[in-house]
């Protein structure tokens, strides 16, 4: 029997309302016992005195780039980066080549993930080829293993198709993950429209582009029926947060996520003209940043994801022409702990919930808890360790990190996936 014993950890499980010091015994990939003073001999023992044991995080918005763009990332390398960030499950978006719009592509992703160090949850395209013209076969894709549907980096421009997709979400109990953007308003922009874009003389992306897209999708949701499941991706503006808050107050089934960079930085960072700080939606104003934090505090924003978007150094070399996107798997918890918990905005308990149980609930995947009888997916964290992410030392193939050189507090020390130690710092 393969066994692992964690001793003297501070165990935090928001689902079970647990915050206590104790031991965790894992037998053959399953948590067999929890308590204090467990004495059973184990194949491996870790003294976790001074460390927090938290449920493995679920990142519900990533780009693993496989199939098709494996020079940037692949399923195995992306999961290695995830393990280094305490993430034991991650949803991968469909903008691959070929697009994840067929059961064969979903099966390919799941087959490649069998040997990965985290569970990969495929997100299928809403429309065939992500062309916005014809819905994919939701039933076949769900049967193949898709956990959600998205057009990823763009909106479904046809409102009638979006309405039909939301009705499908009710029938198959899968969320629509919406990138809310009015492309006519954002066309040609490479960063937030504001003082910095004017100073640099570059075209900006107005917050209205996201706000209009959010308002439209929320309006369509109101017509889609009570069972429809809309999830708003990577919220970056204060107005979008207000719109989501207002619709939630109507009792409508909508959830939302944001990313660490949106509550950590504002668009002043772009004055450095470094393309690693460019993503879509872009870093916004300081007022927007504060609004995102308020949305996390009051529950308007339900989860924290990364929108992990790896690109090669060559692609990111030119500020004006580089593709949008930043990596984030390895730094997500540390950044959130630094800016939200150490910043005094939310509790550690809530942060762990936002990164584990909350996304698991949205995607209906199970998990997000440490309890006897459940798969042993958890991470051990040193809350006091300070570190500065160095791009060349990060896991994964690409190094376009928005947190490079930033001092963060808290470090993932171990990650356990299905009872196996998959990361040790």
Per-residue DSSP letters for 173-241? T--EEE----HHHHTT--EESSHHHHHHT--EE-HHHHHHHHHHHHHHHHHS-TT--EEE-S---HHHH
**Structure tokens that stand for 113 in this block:** 């993930």
Residue ranges per structural domain of the chain: 3-52+375-424, 57-363
The answer to whether 306 and 328 are in contact (CB under 8 A) is yes
Predicted pLDDT of residue 309: 98
**pLDDT for 294-318, tens place per residue?**
999 999 999 999 999 999 999 999 9
At residue 193, the 3 state secondary structure works out as: coil
Q: Tell me: pLDDT of 425 over 80.
A: yes
**pLDDT for 95-140, tens place per residue?**
999 999 999 999 999 999 999 999 999 999 999 999 999 999 999 9
CA 268 to chain centre: 24
Residue corresponding to tokens 């693993």: 64
Which of 4, 96, 83, 74 has the alpha carbon at shortest distance from 41?
Answer: 4
**Positive or negative torsion for Cα 257, 260, 266, 267:** negative
Predicted pLDDT of residue 342: 98
> Mean per-residue pLDDT for 398-405?
98
Residue corresponding to tokens 């005094």: 344
Helix intervals (H) in 85-158: 103-112, 138-144
Q: What percent of the chain has pLDDT over 90?
A: 97
Predicted pLDDT of residue 226: 87
Q: Reply yes or no on domain 57-363 having CATH 3.20.20.140.
A: yes
Question: What is the Cα–Cα distance from 74 to 93, expressed in whole angstroms?
Answer: 12
**pLDDT for 247-296, tens place per residue?**
999 999 899 999 999 999 999 999 999 999 999 999 999 999 999 999 99
Q: Tell me: pLDDT of 40 over 90.
A: no
Mean pLDDT of the chain: 97
**pLDDT for 198-216, tens place per residue?**
999 999 999 999 999 999 9
Gyration radius (Cα) of the chain, Å: 21
CB-based contacts of 247, cutoff 8 Å, min separation 6: 218, 221, 222, 254
pLDDT band at 416 (very low <50, low <70, confident <90, very high): very high
The answer to whether 208 and 183 are in contact (CB under 8 A) is no
Q: Tell me: pLDDT of 61 over 90.
A: yes
Q: Tell me: pLDDT of 1 over 80.
A: no
CB-based contacts of 344, cutoff 8 Å, min separation 6: none
Which of 269, 394, 258 has the alpha carbon at shortest distance from 319?
Answer: 269
Question: What is the Cα–Cα distance from 171 to 228, expressed in whole angstroms?
Answer: 8
The answer to whether 371 and 53 are in contact (CB under 8 A) is no
Q: Which helix (H) or strand (E) holds 422?
A: strand 420-424
What is the per-residue DSSP string for 301-356? S-EE---B----TTTTS-TTTPPP-BB-TTTHHHHHIIIIITTTSS-HHHHHHHHT
Q: Which of 307, 318, 382, 425 is catalytic?
A: 307
pLDDT band at 67 (very low <50, low <70, confident <90, very high): very high
Which pTM does this prediction carry? 0.97
**Structure tokens that stand for 201 in this block:** 């003389």
**Environment class of 242 (CB within 10 Å of its CB; exposed 0-12, middle 13-18, buried 19+):** middle
Predicted pLDDT of residue 406: 98
User: Cα–Cα distances in Å, from 8 out to 4, 76, 320, 422?
Assistant: 13, 32, 51, 20
**Structure tokens that stand for 148 in this block:** 């959600």
The answer to whether 244 and 217 are in contact (CB under 8 A) is no
Question: What is the Cα–Cα distance from 21 to 32, expressed in whole angstroms?
Answer: 17
Q: Tell me: pLDDT of 33 over 90.
A: yes
pLDDT band at 225 (very low <50, low <70, confident <90, very high): confident
**Which CATH class for the 3-52+375-424 domain?**
mainly beta
Establish whether 274 is a catalytic residue: no
Which of 108, 102, 101, 118 has the alpha carbon at shortest distance from 70?
Answer: 108
**pLDDT for 330-373, tens place per residue?**
999 999 999 999 999 999 999 999 999 999 999 999 999 999 99
Predicted pLDDT of residue 238: 98
Question: What is the Cα–Cα distance from 368 to 88, expressed in whole angstroms?
Answer: 10
Question: What is the Cα–Cα distance from 421 to 117, expressed in whole angstroms?
Answer: 9
Which of 111, 112, 174 has the alpha carbon at shortest distance from 137?
Answer: 174
User: Cα–Cα distances in Å, from 113 out to 76, 295, 390?
Assistant: 7, 34, 27
């Amino acid at each position: 029997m393969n066994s692992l014993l964690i001793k003297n950890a501070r165990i935090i499980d928001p689902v079970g309302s647990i915050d206590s010091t104790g031991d965790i015994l894992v037998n053959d990939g399953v948590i067999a016992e929890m308590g204090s003073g467990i004495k059973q001999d184990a194949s491996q023992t870790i003294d976790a005195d001074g460390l927090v044991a938290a449920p493995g995080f679920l990142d519900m918005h990533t780009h693993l780039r496989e199939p098709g763009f494996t020079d940037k990332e692949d399923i195995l390398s992306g999961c290695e980066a995830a393990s280094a960030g305490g993430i034991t499950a991650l949803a991968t978006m469909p903008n691959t080549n070929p697009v994840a719009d067929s059961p064969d592509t979903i099966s390919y992703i799941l087959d490649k993930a069998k040997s990965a160090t985290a569970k990969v949850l495929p997100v299928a395209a809403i429309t065939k080829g992500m062309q916005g013209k014809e819905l994919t076969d939701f039933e076949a894709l769900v049967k193949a293993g898709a956990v959600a549907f998205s057009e990823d980096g763009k909106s479904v421009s046809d409102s009638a198709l979006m309405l039909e997709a939301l009705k499908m979400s009710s029938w198959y109990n899968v969320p629509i993950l919406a990138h809310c953007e009015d492309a006519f308003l954002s066309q040609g922009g490479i960063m937030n429209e504001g003082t910095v874009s004017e100073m640099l003389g570059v075209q900006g992306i107005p917050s209205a582009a996201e706000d209009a897209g959010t308002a439209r999708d929320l309006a369509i949701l109101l017509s889609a029926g009570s069972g429809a499941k809309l999830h708003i991706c990577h919220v970056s503006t204060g107005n979008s947060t207000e719109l989501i808050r207002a619709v939630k107050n109507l009792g409508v089934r909508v959830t939302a996520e944001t990313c660490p960079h949106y509550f950590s930085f504002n668009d002043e960072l772009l004055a450095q003209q470094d393309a690693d700080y460019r993503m879509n939606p872009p870093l916004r104003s300081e007022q927007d940043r504060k609004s995102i934090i308020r949305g996390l505090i009051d529950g308007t924003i339900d989860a924290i994801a990364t929108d992990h978007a790896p690109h090669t150094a060559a692609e990111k070399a030119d500020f004006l022409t580089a593709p949008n996107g930043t990596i984030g798997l390895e730094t997500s918890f540390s950044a959130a702990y630094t800016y939200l918990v150490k910043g005094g905005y939310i509790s550690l308990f809530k942060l762990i919930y936002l990164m584990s149980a909350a996304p698991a609930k949205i995607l209906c995947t199970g998990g997000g808890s440490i309890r006897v009888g459940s798969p042993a997916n958890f991470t051990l964290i040193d809350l006091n360790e300070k570190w500065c992410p160095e791009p060349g030392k990060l896991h994964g193939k690409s190094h376009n990190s928005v947190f490079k050189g930033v001092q963060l507090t808290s470090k993932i020390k171990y990650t356990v996936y299905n009872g196996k130690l998959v990361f040790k710092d």
